[in-house]
């Protein structure tokens, strides 16, 4: 790959506008230190609490390209590394997203990594220790990671089970950062800014989320994430009635259980 092609690829993955992110602690300083030491990072936290936005914010702040992979149960190692493809009656090799990140010195973000197959996540191990290498068995190549490359993974501890958990051999290769829903005042500011609504309505949405998060033990697998509140805010801004906006953006995505839906509907009525 020529220098010009590599430079063009970096530009394709560069974040051009600053993502809005509100610090809730010392997460920025910790990530900057980890990146300076080229340490792999593991982000732990519930769905919709801002993990992905944080990674985007840090990629922009550090001026590094960002390659994101949404992991799922059918993700094979070849989906990360690459494969041979037939093009114009010719077999050519095409890098996968992990290989591209390793070559160009990007931040590679594996979102919800526990969803990936166990034999797939093993391929990242040599990239997370002093070797910093990636073996491409199909081409016989062993890539030494670009000096600027760093691997970041995320997962939701709330979904842990025997089948969906990171092996200790993987976990202990990363420094870990805990994420949670922001404090109410910060979450209100985020929802107001991102949803483009007034702070009073945003505060009510945050209060609703707090009440929903407190009834998790009654059947909800997870509470309402900040992302869902922003979705509700955007519907409200476009003049969707508040109750219907909350039902469509917050309640229905959380559960199919009719009794729980009724409970959530009562919470909405109490607040609005």
Strand 107-111 and strand 90-95: pairing?
Answer: unpaired
Residues 106 and 224 in one domain: no
User: Rounded to an integer, what distance in angstroms lies between the CA atom of residue 53 and that of residue 129?
Assistant: 26
The residue with tokens 């508040």 is 242
Residues 196 and 93 in one domain: no
Provide the percentage of residues in the chain whose pLDDT is more than 70.
96
Boundary-marking domain end, from 178, 209, 234:
178
Residues 13 and 128 in one domain: yes
Using only C-alpha atoms, what is the Rg of the chain?
A: 21
Boundary-marking domain end, from 178, 196, 213:
178
**Over residues 83-108, mean pLDDT:** 92
Task: State the average pLDDT for the chain.
Answer: 91
Using DSSP's 3-state secondary structure scheme, residue 74 falls into: coil
What predicted TM-score, i.e. pTM, was given to this entire model? 0.90
Quote the Cα angle for 55-197-193, to 5°.
25
Q: 108 and 69 in contact (C-beta within 8 Å)? A: yes
Strand 82-87 and strand 141-144: pairing?
Answer: unpaired
Q: Find, among 156, 151, 158, the residue nearest to 175 by Cα.
A: 151
Q: 250 and 210 in contact (C-beta within 8 Å)? A: no
- In tens, the pLDDT along 106-153 reads 999 999 998 888 778 889 999 999 999 999 999 989 999 999 999 999
Residues 80 and 153 in one domain: yes
Residues 147 and 207 in one domain: no
Residues 8 and 122 in one domain: yes
How far are the Cα atoms of 84, 87, 216 from residue 54, in angstroms, in the given order?
34, 38, 25
Instruction: Give the domain CATH number at 172.
Output: 3.40.50.300
Boundary-marking domain end, from 178, 203, 224:
178
Q: 85 and 95 in contact (C-beta within 8 Å)? A: no
Query: Which one has a higher pLDDT value, 258 or 166?
Result: 258
Using DSSP's 3-state secondary structure scheme, residue 91 falls into: strand
Give the model's pLDDT for residue 37: 96
Residues 155 and 195 in one domain: no
Give the model's pLDDT for residue 118: 79
Give the chain's count of helices (H) and strands (E): 13, 9
Q: Find, among 80, 77, 119, the residue nearest to 99 by Cα.
A: 80
Q: 150 and 41 in contact (C-beta within 8 Å)? A: yes
User: Rounded to an integer, what distance in angstroms lies between the CA atom of residue 126 and that of residue 135?
Assistant: 8
**Least trusted range by pLDDT, from 2-6, 57-61, 117-121, 192-196:** 2-6
**Least trusted range by pLDDT, from 149-153, 155-159, 163-167:** 163-167
Which two tokens mark 204? 């009510």
Cα pseudo-dihedral 43, 44, 49, 52, rounded to 10:
30
Using DSSP's 3-state secondary structure scheme, residue 82 falls into: strand
Residues 120 and 38 in one domain: yes
Q: How many domains does one find in the chain? A: 2
Q: Which domain holds residue 91?
A: 3-178
The residue with tokens 């992990």 is 98
Residues 87 and 197 in one domain: no
**Least trusted range by pLDDT, from 18-22, 167-171, 178-182, 243-247:** 167-171
The residue with tokens 């034999």 is 119
Residues 168 and 191 in one domain: no
Quote the Cα angle for 220-223-227, to 5°.
135
Residues 91 and 204 in one domain: no
Residues 90 and 189 in one domain: no
Is residue 177 pLDDT above 90, yes or no?
Answer: yes
């Amino acid at each position: 790959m020529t220098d010009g092609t590599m430079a063009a690829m970096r530009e394709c993955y560069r974040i051009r506008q600053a993502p809005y992110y509100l610090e809730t602690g010392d997460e920025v300083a910790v990530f900057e230190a980890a990146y300076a030491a080229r340490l792999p990072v593991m982000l732990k936290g519930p769905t919709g609490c801002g993990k992905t936005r944080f990674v985007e914010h840090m990629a922009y702040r550090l001026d590094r390209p960002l390659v994101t992979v949404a992991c799922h149960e059918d993700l094979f190692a070849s989906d990360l590394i690459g494969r041979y493809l037939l093009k114009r009656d010719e077999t050519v090799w095409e890098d996968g997203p992990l290989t591209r990140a390793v070559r160009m010195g990007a931040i590679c973000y594996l979102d919800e990594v526990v969803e990936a197959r166990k034999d797939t996540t093993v391929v990242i191990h040599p990239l997370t220790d002093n070797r910093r290498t990636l073996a491409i068995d199909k081409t016989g190549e062993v890539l030494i990671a670009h000096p600027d490359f760093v691997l970041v993974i995320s997962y939701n501890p709330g979904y842990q089970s025997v089948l969906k958990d990171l092996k200790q051999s993987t976990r202990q290769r990363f420094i870990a950062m805990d994420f949670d829903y922001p404090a109410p005042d910060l979450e209100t500011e985020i929802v107001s800014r991102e949803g483009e609504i007034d702070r009073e309505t945003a505060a009510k949405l945050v209060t609703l989320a707090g009440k929903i998060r407190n009834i998790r033990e009654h059947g909800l697998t997870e509470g309402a994430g900040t992302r869902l509140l922003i979705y509700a805010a955007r519907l409200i801004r476009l003049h969707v009635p508040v109750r219907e906006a909350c039902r469509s953006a917050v309640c229905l995505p959380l559960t199919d259980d009719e009794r729980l839906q009724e409970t959530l509907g009562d919470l909405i009525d109490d607040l609005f």
